[in-house]
Structure 1
Amino acid sequence: PFPAATDLLHISYNQDYGCFAAGTKTGFRIYNCDPFREIFRRDLGPSPAAANEPEAAQALHQPPVAGGGGGGGIGVVEMLFRCNILALVGGGDAPHYPPNKVMIWDDHQSRCIGELSFKSPVRGVRLRRDRIVVVLENKIFVYNFADLKLVQQIETAPNPKGLCSVSQQPGSIVLVCPGAQKGQIRVEHYGARKTKFINAHASRVACFALSQDGRLIATASTKGTLVRIFNAAEGNLLQEVRRGADRAEIYSLAFSNNLQYLAVSSDKGTIHVFNLKINVGLTTNDKPLPAPDADVPHMSPSFSFIK
């Protein structure tokens, strides 16, 4: 069964949208999308760092987390396609791990094989086969997956939602995050070694999405009336669609795999699906994604894959 709404702390899809992970007050669960079924769950016991939490909180210059950190709460869980490696961050009233740490979990060994520590709570994590991206409220850290070496630090505007998107097809990496100014997004093209700033909206950016091939970006502002689609490489506006005339909080934006449609969900209890009037032949890469066991990072002596 799916966890009760009061127990649910986090939901995220894997990179090919074939699975999703749910972080709960007691651990995490992995689900298959089609057909829908629970694949496995891990109910975590008391935090291994519970006894040291006051010292850890003191080092962060903040009070201990309510609840004593003695529970199994997972506030962020990110899958790496369908392999046994996940990224976990403690969350809720009784986090299993400190909220300022990213734990690399090997489910084959049922233990953590690496960790990344920060001076403030982690707002989000994104995984590629070759990168780990950690989002804090005002900064983003990019690491090599294989050796956890820091590649880049990016300063952002306040980002409490942990907004960040990373392309998933092999080859050049594209990363999108909030810029330093209101209404701005920043696009990092690692293959071309260039940074592009796009002034997407007059008001603050509330949500954005990056296509899997890293070529299209959809953005919405805090007004929630318009959604804009940009070319990631050049930053030019390709299309603008109107969700409605009244203000709305945009929860999510999602491109279809063939880039023919864009879905928009909001606090109005509706999902809008728009046709994209874009020359798909010029913006898509027809090469299929590699099998999930290709080019995975070699942090662990063994990898298994979810069927």
Structure 2
Amino acid sequence: MRILRFNQDASCCVISTTSHQVNIYNCDPFGKCFELNNQAENDSQEGLMQYDVTRQRSIPTLDGGFIIEMLFSTSLVAIADRNRGSSNGKKLKIVNTKRNSTICELSFPYEIVDVVMNRKRMCILLENDQIFVYDISCMKPLETIDLWEDHLKSVSGKPVSDGSRRRNSLGHRMRPRMVLSGDDRSILCYTTYSATKSNPESYVLHDVVVYDALNVFPVNYLNSIHKGNITSLAVSYDGKLIATASDKGTIIRVVATGVDSEYDSTRPLLHEFRRGSRPCNVYQLVFNRHTTLLACVGDTDTIHIFNLNSTDGNEITNEPGDEDRLLASSNSDNLRDLVGSAESPKQLASFISRRLKASIPNQNLRRDSAHIKVNVDSEYRIGFPEEFPNQVYVASSDGTFKVYTIPSTPGECVLSKTSSFT
């Protein structure tokens, strides 16, 4: 399976089983609604179409031949095809699936790694760690965010040479992650680099920038959410919360982004869940529409669903002296004033944040409130349908689509329907 993902509201599922074909299925009622087949164009590029499924499972990155992002259940789809060489991997096609026609094509200087969009904005992450922000209504470029330039200037205040940048993130194990809120506020969250204390030349991806993509302005900077690299990132529909997992994959953290007026900069860490005690590659984190549930999909035999409304005595309660349970955060009002006076508004050079020690997770952290047992030989993606809040969709690389009912009390989800991608 080369692509396996749901759209923003889990009304559709996108799959690709070959290097030349992408299919989109409606989830309810289940059935194929769109097919893209580039076999004729790909026949001459057979040598470039090989895909290492083992590598995809061992490193949770977007290495498939196609990169595809739907705009909810509309007919607008963004597609990048890396099967036909690097030159084609630099092009993003905006396709109308009802007319089966290309609306426009965007070209970039480096290969495309990821695409996210909502009804207002589209953001494209390139292999050189730049993010391009577009107005989706007219496909007008609004801003370019350089993860290396902005971070290193914010740390040293000195110009950044090309040698200081990573120019081929496709060849590296860890890559930045980005997510975009589903509502019109268009809160973009992305991981960025920071130097380690022990070795200034070594960088980790454990910081998250909260960015207002609608007004093209940074909002907040969250430091050291995990000790290791953040490999999975999710944002709530309204952009108020993010969920993160590191390369260790044992702890899931839920953090306030600071976009709401009631944000408390001394208490950004809201929830901390234990996925398990053994390391795991976390492929997906996803909130439901109303931010009451959070699902975690990894390479183990269990899909976990955490209840964000449940309180069992282990909720985070940070007091002024509890530095071990806090994340670093900047005050968004001060941040706006500082960035507004900077030489360039796209630089994050004026970020000031308080760095507090990351905690050693408590062994009594809350665990899942519901779970689904799966086959470790397959890969899975999960979606929360808006119309059915007590259900969850699970798509599998073995070609099955399943609907589960979430139990009212903690326990295993109940399988209610099974379909097949044929």
TM-score bucket of the superposed structures, by smaller chain: 0.7 to 0.9
Once residues 219 and 164 of structure 1 are traced to their aligned partners in structure 2, the CA distance between those partners, rounded to angstroms, is 11
Contact 2:133/2:213 (CA < 8 Å) preserved in 1?
no
The reply on whether 1:187 has 2:187 as its aligned counterpart is no
Could you tell me how far 1:82 is from its partner in structure 2?
2.0
The reply on whether 1:132 has 2:122 as its aligned counterpart is yes
Contact 2:5/2:14 (CA < 8 Å) preserved in 1?
yes
Once residues 176 and 6 of structure 2 are traced to their aligned partners in structure 1, the CA distance between those partners, rounded to angstroms, is 15
Contact 1:27/1:74 (CA < 8 Å) preserved in 2?
no
Could you tell me how far 1:190 is from its partner in structure 2?
4.1
Once residues 68 and 118 of structure 1 are traced to their aligned partners in structure 2, the CA distance between those partners, rounded to angstroms, is 20
Q: Name which of 175, 189, 198 aligns with 2:188.
A: 175
SS in 2 for 1:169: coil
Q: Name which of 19, 25, 30 aligns with 2:19.
A: 25
Q: Give the corresponding residue for 1:266.
A: 298
- Higher share of residues assigned helix: 2
Q: Give the corresponding residue for 2:322.
A: none
- The AA in structure 1 aligned to 2:5 is S
Q: Give the corresponding residue for 1:282.
A: none
Q: Give the corresponding residue for 1:117.
A: 107
Could you tell me how far 1:113 is from its partner in structure 2?
1.9
The structure with the larger Rg is 2
The reply on whether 1:213 has 2:213 as its aligned counterpart is no
Residues 38 and 76 of structure 1, relative CA distance in 2, 3 Å threshold: same
Contact 1:205/1:219 (CA < 8 Å) preserved in 2?
yes
Residues 80 and 190 of structure 1, relative CA distance in 2, 3 Å threshold: closer
Any idea what the Cα deviations from partners look like across 1:237-278, whole Å, max 9, x if unmatched? Answer: 101111112211111111122322211111112111112147
The alignment-based identity, stated in percent, is 29
Give unpaired runs (5+ residues) of structure 1.
Answer: 1-7, 52-64, 280-287, 290-307
Give runs of aligned pairs for residues 204-243 of structure 1, distance below 5 A.
204-233=229-258, 234=263, 236-243=268-275
Contact 1:239/1:277 (CA < 8 Å) preserved in 2?
no
Instruction: Between 246-255 and 14-23, report the one with greater CA deviation.
Output: 14-23
Q: Name which of 2, 8, 17 aligns with 1:9.
A: 2
Once residues 65 and 93 of structure 2 are traced to their aligned partners in structure 1, the CA distance between those partners, rounded to angstroms, is 11
Q: Give the corresponding residue for 1:67.
A: 47
Once residues 253 and 38 of structure 1 are traced to their aligned partners in structure 2, the CA distance between those partners, rounded to angstroms, is 25
Any idea what the Cα deviations from partners look like across 1:53-102, whole Å, max 9, x if unmatched? Answer: xxxxxxxxxxxx76368xxx95112111222221111133x469811111
Give TM-score, length-normalised by structure 2.
0.55
Contact 2:228/2:247 (CA < 8 Å) preserved in 1?
yes
Q: Give the corresponding residue for 2:162.
A: none
Once residues 73 and 111 of structure 2 are traced to their aligned partners in structure 1, the CA distance between those partners, rounded to angstroms, is 27
SS in 2 for 1:263: strand
SS in 1 for 2:139: coil
Once residues 101 and 191 of structure 1 are traced to their aligned partners in structure 2, the CA distance between those partners, rounded to angstroms, is 24
Contact 2:232/2:246 (CA < 8 Å) preserved in 1?
yes
Q: Give the corresponding residue for 1:4.
A: none
Contact 1:74/1:96 (CA < 8 Å) preserved in 2?
no
Residues 260 and 84 of structure 1, relative CA distance in 2, 3 Å threshold: closer
Contact 1:155/1:180 (CA < 8 Å) preserved in 2?
no
Q: Name which of 261, 278, 282 aligns with 1:246.
A: 278
Residue correspondences, number:
255
Give unpaired runs (5+ residues) of structure 2.
Answer: 50-63, 149-165, 195-203, 312-385, 388-422
Once residues 195 and 112 of structure 1 are traced to their aligned partners in structure 2, the CA distance between those partners, rounded to angstroms, is 35
Instruction: Between 149-158 and 101-110, report the one with greater CA deviation.
Output: 149-158
Q: Give the corresponding residue for 1:197.
A: 221
Contact 1:136/1:162 (CA < 8 Å) preserved in 2?
no
Instruction: Between 259-268 and 200-209, report the one with greater CA deviation.
Output: 259-268
Q: Give the corresponding residue for 1:40.
A: 34
Residues 66 and 135 of structure 1, relative CA distance in 2, 3 Å threshold: farther
Any idea what the Cα deviations from partners look like across 1:8-39, whole Å, max 9, x if unmatched? Answer: 32223222111122244222111112333222
Residues 268 and 91 of structure 1, relative CA distance in 2, 3 Å threshold: same
* RMSD of aligned alpha carbons: 2.9
Contact 1:264/1:272 (CA < 8 Å) preserved in 2?
yes
Contact 2:77/2:94 (CA < 8 Å) preserved in 1?
yes
The reply on whether 1:275 has 2:303 as its aligned counterpart is no
Once residues 29 and 21 of structure 1 are traced to their aligned partners in structure 2, the CA distance between those partners, rounded to angstroms, is 6
Once residues 109 and 131 of structure 1 are traced to their aligned partners in structure 2, the CA distance between those partners, rounded to angstroms, is 22
Q: Give the corresponding residue for 2:138.
A: 147
Give TM-score, length-normalised by structure 1.
0.74
Once residues 145 and 124 of structure 2 are traced to their aligned partners in structure 1, the CA distance between those partners, rounded to angstroms, is 10
Contact 1:165/1:209 (CA < 8 Å) preserved in 2?
yes
- The AA in structure 2 aligned to 1:212 is Y
SS in 1 for 2:98: coil
Q: Give the corresponding residue for 2:341.
A: none
Residues 270 and 242 of structure 1, relative CA distance in 2, 3 Å threshold: same
